[in-house]
Amino acid sequence: MLAQWAHNWWAVTLRGVVAIIFGLIAIVAPIPTLEVLVLFVGAYMLVDGVFAIIAAFRHRAGHDRWWVLLLEGLLGVVAGIATFFLPLLTTLVLLYVIAFWAIVTGILEIAAAIRLRKDIQGEWMLALGGAVSVILGVLLLLFPTAGVLAVAWMIGWYAILFGLMLFILGLRLRKHSMALA
């Protein structure tokens, strides 16, 4: 397996370079980056929905619940089309889902910490984590634009770090490739 990886060291290195470039673009131009990502998600939902509809009709004979797959497909098509026509709204809806999820899970973590305070030590860490989740959710609701930018920047930094690791791996594989030759 090492020989295969070493033989293709250049592909690993190139993947790293592309990831680094993407990460830098995401950090420098976060809004266009998110717009493109949202459009890719919309395209995926649309294509997935079409395939689900096709599968539903192909398997309706002999399956009682074929309509569930049809419904899933129709929802995917509608969501995909909505994403193309309303990409900013789609981005904001996703951000609000994340915000409400953070608030609800944070409250539940705080409640669990209160219940566990007699049974375990260190329950305050769970409560603190819950408080941080609630604060994040509230901040996302109060400052959605900043939240969207933060998501793009996190994706950018992830891509840069991942790209650097691939780049370094590619260079190390190159050494192995030269040793195997």
Is residue 176 classed as helix, strand or coil in its secondary structure? helix
pLDDT of residue 94: 82
- Could you report the per-residue pLDDT of 93-152, keeping only the tens digit for each? 888 988 999 999 999 999 988 988 888 787 889 899 999 999 989 998 999 888 888 888
- Distance between CA atoms of residues 39 and 137, nearest Å: 25
pTM > 0.75? no
Q: Are 45 and 76 in contact (CB under 8 A)?
A: yes
**Percent above pLDDT 70 for the chain:** 99
Strand ranges, E, within 31-163: none
pLDDT of residue 116: 83
- Could you report the per-residue pLDDT of 49-105, keeping only the tens digit for each? 999 999 999 888 877 888 999 999 999 999 999 999 998 888 888 889 889 999 999
pLDDT-derived band at 165, boundaries 50, 70, 90: very high
pLDDT of residue 95: 85
pLDDT of residue 47: 96
In the chain, the amino acid numbered 171 is L
pLDDT of residue 98: 84
Q: Are 109 and 165 in contact (CB under 8 A)?
A: no
pLDDT of residue 180: 80
DSSP line for 106-172? HHHHHHHHHHHTTT-S-HHHHHHHHHHHHHHHHHHHH-HHHHHHHHHHHHHHHHHHHHHHHHHHHHH
- Distance between CA atoms of residues 55 and 165, nearest Å: 40
